[in-house]
A and B are shown apart, each in its own frame.
Chain A
Amino acid sequence: MLTQVIKANKLTINTKAQNPGLLNQARIEEIFQCLFDSRYFAYFLVDRNWRIQDTSNNLHELGLQSLAVGVDATEEFDFLAGLDIKENYELAMITSPSGDPIRVIFIPKDSMIFVFIMDAKQEFIRQKSLQQKVNENQLLFETQAKLFAELETAKQLLESQNTQLQEAARLQSRLLSGVSHEFRTPLTSIIGYTNLLLSEDWSKINNDAENYLIGIKRSSKHLLSLIENLIDHGRFDSGGIVLNPKAVELAEIFDDVALLAKPLAITKNITFEVQLDLNETQSVIVDDSRLRQCLINIISNAIKFTDFGGVKITAGWRNDILRIGVADTGIGISEEHLKEIKKPFWQAPGTGKNGTGLGLTITERIIELMGGSLLIDSIEGKGTTVIFDVFAPPMVEFEGLEQQSFNDFDTPLNLLLVEDDSDIAFLVTAMLEDDGVDVTHLSNGALAVECLQHQEFDMVLMDLHMPILDGYGAIEKIRNSGDQTPIVIMTASAIESDRDRAEALGCDGYLVKPIDISDLYSLAQQLGLDAT
């Protein structure tokens, strides 16, 4: 039958094939040559309904089911599903139902379709080897490209981080320079006044002594606010800032700040004015030390950058909100610098004014923490106005804030002071004794532990960093002995983790140096010591 077919067609089957893969005359000749050359080929002949009309008897050699005449070939061979053969057509490489690779060629002629099946194992093996290698290499190439891209990204990230580190190092260097300058100014006053007090004949300088001491106090407070700014910057990053709102009289805060700022303005020969729109005894709940810190930072800047005219402070209170304005007639800020001014360590270039570059950054963050916001309006060459709001609800049933002291206790407080620095110990002892407290001083934790074994005190005021046995060790030993004497820490460390550690060991209060006796008094009251 096959021979008849070939002869009948004389290898001149007309094809309209134009698509790649369809058979042209040359391809048909090649295929038939292959058929004749190959040991493994088979065929079947179907009508247009895919019913078998004839078949070679070796379909099984190519992994195909042998079919009887009249059977529907699509029932047996999945590769026929959906095919509508109108032109010569070739499936170059498919798997037979048994899994063997075969090539299938369809040649329609009149009412019949000739289907030739050829063994394609050799071609399959050749292609498989080649294709597998090509694809694996391409996958390797893609993986390499991906790794290179990741490497490039990592490199760019490192470069960016390196730039940031260099910038941080530059800012740190500038900060150190600024801090050094800022610290030297008040320290010069403190050392100078102290030298005067120590070296001069008291009988001669007696009239000036008070002014010297006021100068020392003012410079010390300024120094303290600089240190607080530096510490707060680090604490903000670790989320360590906690507000301590309490009842305060607003007018007192502005009086204090004016007392500090006015001399600075006088020194520069500029005016300083405070205009308050407050009730006479406007008492609110606010963290007064943080509010003072913000005011000092903003007013210091205003005075620093104003050489002519003056600085005017305004304050008004409405509906739980305290609004404060600080307006100066200074050098002003350019639009370009306004965008930068709140960034940490940023300092106005070309002004010749040094600083830490932290004041405004800290101030804005504290104001936000106090539920407010800070706005800066400035015209270069004309001056700057800073306006900020803070949440300050009124103190209901305010009973007055007159200064209270340990003298108010029914019986004098018996306090053990544990402090290794003799100057600090001398100072604190003097302040407490002046306030009516009986003070016993010891210079390290070990002495305190031993002393408490045979002597009772109302309260222990203890430093943390001391020789022989530090404050932590002492608290631990005291508490382990069952002694529950209230212990208040008095330390220079404002680090949150130090406080946490001391509290975990059993301390009852934590004060950061320089301490305010009124804070110690409040703690003593909270601990119920005024009832002793």
Chain B
Amino acid sequence: MVGDFAVGKTSLTQKFIKNVFSDRYVSTIGVKIDSVIVDDTKLVIWDVAGRDPLSPINTNYLVGASGIVFVGDGTRPSTVKALSALWETVAERIGEVPVVVALNKHDHEDWSVGSDQISNFSNLGWDVFTTSAKEGENVKSLFECLVRKMSQK
């Protein structure tokens, strides 16, 4: 799970694994590791601390990853725009792996992701999902899609 801080990486993970959600923001330190069985496949999810103004992504946490869930906050355009740069960092460290994109917080009124932005991601071969960790929108589809893509590789 890779993206800027406070975009909802932990919320999406917890919603998928435990079907829980909290509005309270708690920053992730380092990496939080969880696992879940998806279609007879054990999926180990590394919920990596978000990139923030003080620190870049610690790419040590990416080593050994079979796929990436990029997460952007649909109400903060800068976090969505940042995903392209993050991809360069990721690809440089671990090479090209299957990617899915979660444009999260789709339940918020101040949603501001344009269709052109979604098209840009799709053109890179990424599967893009508008998600809401709060409502559960597309959360299951997001992870199932990634598992499918990793299995096909």
Q: What is the interface of chain A, defined by CB distance below 8 A to chain B?
A: 19-22, 78-79, 81-84, 89-95, 101, 120, 124, 127-128, 131-132, 134-136, 138-139, 142, 146
Q: Chain B residues near A91: list those with CB within 8 A.
A: 30-31, 60-61
Distance from A73 Cβ to chain B, minimum over Cβ atoms (Å): 14
Contacts of A84 in B (CB 8 A): 64
Kindly list the 7 A-B residue pairs having the minimum CB-CB distance in the complex, ordered from nearest: A93-B30, A82-B64, A21-B60, A81-B44, A83-B64, A135-B27, A131-B27
B residues 16-50 near A (Cβ < 8 Å) are: 25-27, 29-35, 44, 49-50
Comparing B51-59, B121-129, B133-141, the segment that makes contact with chain A is: B51-59
Q: How far is the CA of A139 from the CA of B78 in the complex (A)?
A: 12
From B26, B50, B60, residue with most partner A Cβ within 10 Å: B60
Closest to A91 in B: B60
A-B contact pairs, 30 of them (CB 8 A): A19-B59, A21-B60, A22-B60, A78-B44, A82-B44, A82-B64, A83-B63, A83-B64, A89-B60, A91-B31, A91-B60, A91-B61, A94-B33, A95-B31, A120-B30, A124-B29, A127-B29, A127-B30, A128-B27, A128-B29, A131-B52, A131-B54, A132-B26, A132-B27, A134-B54, A136-B25, A138-B5, A139-B25, A142-B78, A146-B110
User: What residues of chain A lie closer than 8 Å to B29, measured between beta carbons?
Assistant: 93, 101, 124, 127-128, 131
Does residue B66 face the partner (Cβ distance < 8 Å to A)?
yes
Contact indicator B32/A95 (Cβ below 8 Å): yes
Could you tell me the distance in whole angstroms from the C-beta of B105 to the nearest C-beta in chain A? 13
How many of chain B's residues have a CB under 8 angstroms from any CB in A?
A: 30
A-B CB contacts (within 8 Å), total count: 79
Q: Which of B5, B30, B44, B66 contacts A135 (CB 8 A)?
A: B5
Across the interface, which residues of B come within 8 angstroms of A139, CB to CB? 6, 25
Query: Are A101 and B30 also in contact (CB < 8 A) when A82-B66, A139-B6 are?
Result: yes
A81 near B76: Cβ-Cβ < 8 Å: no
B136 to chain A, nearest CB (A): 23
State whether the Cβ of B65 lies closer than 8 Å to any Cβ in chain A: yes
Q: Are A79 and B33 within 8 A (Cβ)?
A: yes
Q: A265 CB to closest chain B CB, in angstroms?
A: 60
Residues of chain B within 8 A of A78, CB atoms compared = 33-35, 44
Residues of the A chain whose Cβ atoms lie less than 8 Å from the Cβ of B5: 135, 138
CA distance A304 to B29 in the complex (A): 81
Which chain A residues lie closer than 8 Å to B52 at the CB level?
131, 134-135, 138
Q: Which of B25, B27, B30, B61 has the most CB of A within 10 A?
A: B30
Max chain B C-beta neighbours (<10 A), residue from A84, A124, A127, A135? A135
- B76 adjacent to A90 (CB under 8 Å): no
User: What is the minimal beta-carbon distance from B88 to any residue of chain A, in angstroms?
Assistant: 15
B58 touches A21 (CB 8 A): yes
Q: Cβ of B32: which chain A residues have Cβ within 8 Å of it?
A: 94-95
CA–CA, A142 and B49, complex, Å? 19
Question: A19-B59, A81-B44, A135-B5 are known contacts; what are 17 more A-B pairs with Cβ within 8 Å?
Answer: A21-B59, A78-B33, A78-B44, A82-B65, A84-B64, A94-B30, A94-B32, A94-B61, A95-B30, A95-B33, A101-B30, A120-B30, A131-B27, A132-B27, A138-B5, A139-B25, A142-B76
